[in-house]
């Protein structure tokens, strides 16, 4: 984008009464039942599985997300982080560890791999807080909203990008997310979905991008052409000034997207880039495809698109729209299978499937939204929380009874010993919202399960770690209370470290079990 352009929020409101066009579904490639799994270029280069096969933890703060990353055995240990609530600057701090590289005021996915972040329960909103992926691979982000991330003004985060990727990133699937701003560069915002500096094999699917000056870019300059192999499908771009997306070099595949009110320009293919543009619906927009703001030409292959009330400017200098009758000037071979909905029904099917909170619904190739296959091995079903809450004791002997206890701090009137006395009417509280309490024995004891019981009136544990105090190793991490299992460990002391809480936790019992 050559200049900052304020977003036409008033135009969005004025057009709110317009209804989406619907039509007959025309499948132009081999039909197959939708499963809700990873699609597009993210299926290539070994595929994208995120945290599949690893531990699942719950997080209600940005700090807890970072803590979950830092509590892994290594930077590549698979993990699924289920997120619920509002993540903002006030609850997102830097956490240190050998398996992470985090920062305050941004969700930092840096120099890591094999991670899924998925919104669950009542939903996850990253408010004025961006997600930054750097030097990482095999990442899934699903069912979250990221809004109003700024690069100027206050507060700032992630250079103003809702989701930004850079520096040797590979295999990212972003699915069923809502990315939105409240203006353009002059209001302090930047891109909604940016990739640069050798980012490849990315899919953005069933998502909403709206109310921004810049939809997103692939390549930060005319010399940054190492990015590509990106798929965009079944997304809604609404009230975007430009960059839907801007593609410098590389290959991108755009199919079954609904582009509505692209105010200045849309898909901007330049610097040798090649875009395959299939069965999209462009509506109430201007110059939706071409090479803009440069004399370094890009290319496109077009098929099956609908142009509904689209205006085209004259070609002049570095402004070269593909219309008014777009025709292909290259060919693009796609290595993966895909199923096309007919362009006429794209507005309807995208309205029912795209964005966070839509139940992860997908299209079956005949313009009929459906829930994902329950056997899909992808991210954990967001309707199934893993935090069990307080439970009856596990089977076996509570090893904490008769053991010793100590800790890092305690509130007035509480005692470390109260967590090992078998009495849920007494409790230990930290002197504040964070702190640690330990159970200890005179000789090595094997532990593989703990049960944390909270007393009546307790605050909520937002994030915790269970540590082998002898070695410092992290046995498990998560949030809330209840039972958690881990690989058997022989130790003399086990520590519950509370790193985030809402209110003051009251730990009535810290029960330990051999199995």
Beta bridge mates, 498: 435, 464
Beta strands per DSSP E along 197-336: 199-205, 208-214, 217-218, 228-233, 236-242, 246-248, 251-255, 258-262, 267-270, 274-278, 281-286, 289-292, 299-303, 306-311, 319-321
What is the bridge-based pairing of β-strands 208-214 and 236-242?
parallel
Task: State both tokens at 365.
Answer: 């190739």
Rounded distance, CA 450 to CA 463, Å? 16
Task: State both tokens at 222.
Answer: 């005319």
Question: Exposure pattern of 369-403 as b/e (b: 16+ CB <10 Å)?
Answer: bbebeeeeebbbebeebbbeebeeebeeebbbeeb
Collapse the DSSP code of 191 into the 3-class scheme (helix H, G, I; strand E, B; otherwise coil) and give the result.
strand
Angle at 82 between CA 78 and CA 86, to 5 degrees: 135
- Annotated catalytic sites, by residue? 243
Task: State both tokens at 76.
Answer: 């590549």
Task: State both tokens at 286.
Answer: 């201007």
Query: Comparing C-alpha atoms, which of 217, 168, 179 is closest to residue 195?
Result: 217
Task: State both tokens at 385.
Answer: 């929380």
Which positions ≥6 away from 58 have C-beta within 8 Å? 81, 82, 83, 84, 120, 385, 386, 387, 478, 479, 480
């Amino acid at each position: 984008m050559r200049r900052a352009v304020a977003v036409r929020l008033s135009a969005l409101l004025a057009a709110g009464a317009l209804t989406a066009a619907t039509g007959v579904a025309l499948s132009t490639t081999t039909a197959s039942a939708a499963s809700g799994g990873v699609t597009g270029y993210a299926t290539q280069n070994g595929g994208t599985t995120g945290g599949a096969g690893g531990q699942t933890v719950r997080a209600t703060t940005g700090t807890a997300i970072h803590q979950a990353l830092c509590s892994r055995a290594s930077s590549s240990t698979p993990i699924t982080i289920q997120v619920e609530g509002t993540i903002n600057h006030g609850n997102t701090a830097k956490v240190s560890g050998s398996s992470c590289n985090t920062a305050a005021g941004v969700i930092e996915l840096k120099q890591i791999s094999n991670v899924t972040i998925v919104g669950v329960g009542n939903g996850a909103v990253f408010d004025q807080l961006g997600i930054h992926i750097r030097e990482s691979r095999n990442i899934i982000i699903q069912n979250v909203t990221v809004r109003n991330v700024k690069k100027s003004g206050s507060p700032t985060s992630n250079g103003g990008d809702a989701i930004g990727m850079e520096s040797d990133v590979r295999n990212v699937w972003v699915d069923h997310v809502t990315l939105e701003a409240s203006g353009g560069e002059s209001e302090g915002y930047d891109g909604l979905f940016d990739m640069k500096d050798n980012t490849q094999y990315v899919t953005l699917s069933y998502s909403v991008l709206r109310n921004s000056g810049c939809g997103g870019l692939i390549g930060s300059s005319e010399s940054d052409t190492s990015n590509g192999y990106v798929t965009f499908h079944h997304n809604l771009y609404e009230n975007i000034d430009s960059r839907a997306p801007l593609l410098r070099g590389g290959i991108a595949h755009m199919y079954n997207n609904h582009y509505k009110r692209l105010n200045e320009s849309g898909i901007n293919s330049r610097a040798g880039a090649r875009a395959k543009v299939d069965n999209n619906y462009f509506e109430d927009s201007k110059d939706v495809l071409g090479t803009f703001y440069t004399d370094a030409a890009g290319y496109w292959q077009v098929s099956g698109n609908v142009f509904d009330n689209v205006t085209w400017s004259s070609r002049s200098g570095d402004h070269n729209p593909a219309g008014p009758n777009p025709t292909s000037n290259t060919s693009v071979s796609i290595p993966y299978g895909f199923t096309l909905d007919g362009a006429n029904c794209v507005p309807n099917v995208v309205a029912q499937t795209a964005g966070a909170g839509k139940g992860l619904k997908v299209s079956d190739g005949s313009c009929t939204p459906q829930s994902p296959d329950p056997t899909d091995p992808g991210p954990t079903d967001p309707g199934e929380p893993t935090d069990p809450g307080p439970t009856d004791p596990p089977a076996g002997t509570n090893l904490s009874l008769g053991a010793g206890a100590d800790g890092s701090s305690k509130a007035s009137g509480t005692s470390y010993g109260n967590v090992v006395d078998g009495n849920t009417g007494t409790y230990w509280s930290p002197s504040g919202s964070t702190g640690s309490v330990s159970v200890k024995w005179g000789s090595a004891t094997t532990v593989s399960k703990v049960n944390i019981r909270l007393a009546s009136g307790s605050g909520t544990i937002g994030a915790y770690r269970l540590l082998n105090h002898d070695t410092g190793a992290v046995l498990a991490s998560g949030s809330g209370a209840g039972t958690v299992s881990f690989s058997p460990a022989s130790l003399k002391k086990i520590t519950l470290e509370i790193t985030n809480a809402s209110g003051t936790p009251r730990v009535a019992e810290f029960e330990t079990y051999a199995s």
